[in-house]
């Protein structure tokens, strides 16, 4: 598939972390990429070596999402891909979050992704082809202790994505796809300050991924849409099994705590080793 036939890609939350890696990987794969982020200056700086195409975007603004989709639709080949990556994490028991924090998580992680999806679909359905790729999380597949509000926002996004895909098929729309990528914990600024946080233990229980690895999977998923993909795949199977047996999952909470703390200690050692390594 050539760039001209597959159109442009939009990436939200692209000023840093995973979004930045996704934008770079898509650009390397030949996509013209429109980078968006709430931080206009930061996203413009990231976009500069990738073609310089960026726009400020607060995904909570439905009209702004529609404007970005319309702009991308004007690119050669139209809008080919919309990646909903923008997200927030807050850790700790739900009762420790103030109402504004809970609201912000849902507004960005769930409603923001809904806004992006629906803005993209307004274009893609008219075109008859295209792809929405929602970055969910393993927390969208299981209720992660310590990250319960975050997990709830991601569960809602997963349900919305799969239900929307089913609605498209029921409406006879075959050329428009919705995919969900559910990665394990990713070593980005979202977790950089969580190495001693007991509320973030769930993010360190498995394979801590690099943003580049996840971005490479995004590129593959963009080429071959699938409803739900977990990364790594074995972790998806593991958490789905636990989700199917909630009493077992609750009984294993001490194991999760121990595994997460061990993962935090491993990452602390890696960070220290990287910091002590001579720079060339």
Q: Is 94 exposed, middle or buried (0-12, 13-18, 19+ CB in 10 A)?
A: middle
Both tokens of residue 5?
């036939």
pLDDT tens digits, the chain, 280 residues: what are they? Answer: 334 468 999 999 999 999 999 999 999 999 999 999 999 999 999 999 999 999 999 999 999 999 999 999 999 999 999 999 999 999 999 999 999 999 999 999 999 999 999 999 999 999 999 999 999 999 999 998 999 999 999 999 999 999 999 999 999 999 999 999 999 999 999 999 999 999 999 999 998 999 999 999 999 999 999 999 999 999 999 999 999 999 999 999 999 999 999 999 999 999 999 888 876 6
How far is residue 265's CA from residue 267's CA, in Å, rounded to a whole number?
Answer: 5
Dihedral pair phi/psi, residue 80, rounded to 5°: -100, -30
Please state the pTM of the whole predicted model: 0.95
pLDDT at residue 278, rounded to an integer: 79
- Comparing CA positions, the residue from 82, 85, 81, 106 lying closest to residue 18 is 85
Q: What confidence score (pLDDT) does residue 207 get?
A: 84
Q: What does the pLDDT read at residue 280? A: 61
Residue whose token pair is 């390594």:
277
Instruction: State the burial class of residue 30 (Cβ atoms within 10 Å of its Cβ: 0-12, 13-18, 19+).
Output: middle
Q: Edge-to-edge strand order for the sheet containing 8-11?
A: 54-56, 33-37, 8-11, 79-84, 130-135, 176-183, 228-231
What pLDDT does residue 275 have?
87
Buried-exposed string 128-158: b where 16+ CB fall within 10 A, e elsewhere:
ebbbbbbbbbbbbbbbbbbbbbbbbbbbbbb
Whole-angstrom Cα Rg for the chain: 19
CA distance 66 to 126: 14
What dihedral angle (degrees, nearest 10) is formed by the CA atoms of 270, 200, 14, 103? -170
Which residue, 80, 86, 68, 75, is CA-closest to 20? 86
Q: Hey, what CATH topology would domain 8-274 get?
A: Rossmann fold (3.40.50)
Here the tokens at position 85 are 């990556």
The full set of domain ranges for the chain reads 8-274
Please count the CA atoms within 13 angstroms of the CA of 225 that sit on its side-chain side: 20
- Return the structure tokens found at 278: 């001579």
């Amino acid at each position: 598939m050539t760039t001209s036939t597959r159109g442009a890609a939009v990436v939200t939350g692209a000023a840093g972390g995973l979004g930045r890696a996704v934008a770079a990987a898509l650009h390397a794969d030949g996509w013209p990429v429109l980078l968006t982020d709430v931080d206009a200056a930061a996203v413009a700086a990231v976009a500069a070596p990738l073609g310089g195409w960026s726009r400020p975007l607060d995904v909570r603004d439905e009209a702004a999402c529609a404007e970005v989709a319309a702009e991308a639709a004007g690119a050669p080949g139209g809008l080919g891909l919309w990646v909903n990556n923008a997200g927030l994490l807050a850790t700790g028991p739900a009762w420790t979050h103030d109402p504004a924090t809970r609201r912000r998580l849902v507004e960005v992680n769930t409603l923001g992704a809904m806004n992006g999806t629906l803005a993209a679909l307004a274009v893609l359905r008219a075109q008859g082809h295209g792809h929405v790729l929602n970055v969910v999380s393993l927390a969208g597949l299981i209720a992660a202790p310590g990250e319960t509000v975050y997990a709830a926002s991601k569960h809602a996004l997963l349900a919305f994505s799969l239900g929307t895909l089913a609605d498209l098929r029921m409406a006879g729309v075959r050329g428009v796809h919705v995919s969900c990528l559910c990665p394990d914990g990713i070593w980005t600024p979202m977790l950089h300050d969580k190495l001693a946080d007991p509320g973030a233990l769930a993010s360190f229980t498995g394979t801590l991924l690099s943003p580049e690895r996840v971005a490479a999977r995004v590129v593959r998923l963009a080429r071959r849409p699938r409803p739900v993909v977990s990364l790594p795949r074995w972790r998806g199977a593991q958490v789905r099994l636990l989700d199917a047996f909630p009493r077992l999952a609750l009984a294993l909470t001490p194991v999760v705590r121990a595994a997460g703390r061990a993962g935090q200690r491993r990452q602390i050692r890696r960070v220290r080793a990287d910091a002590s390594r001579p720079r060339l």
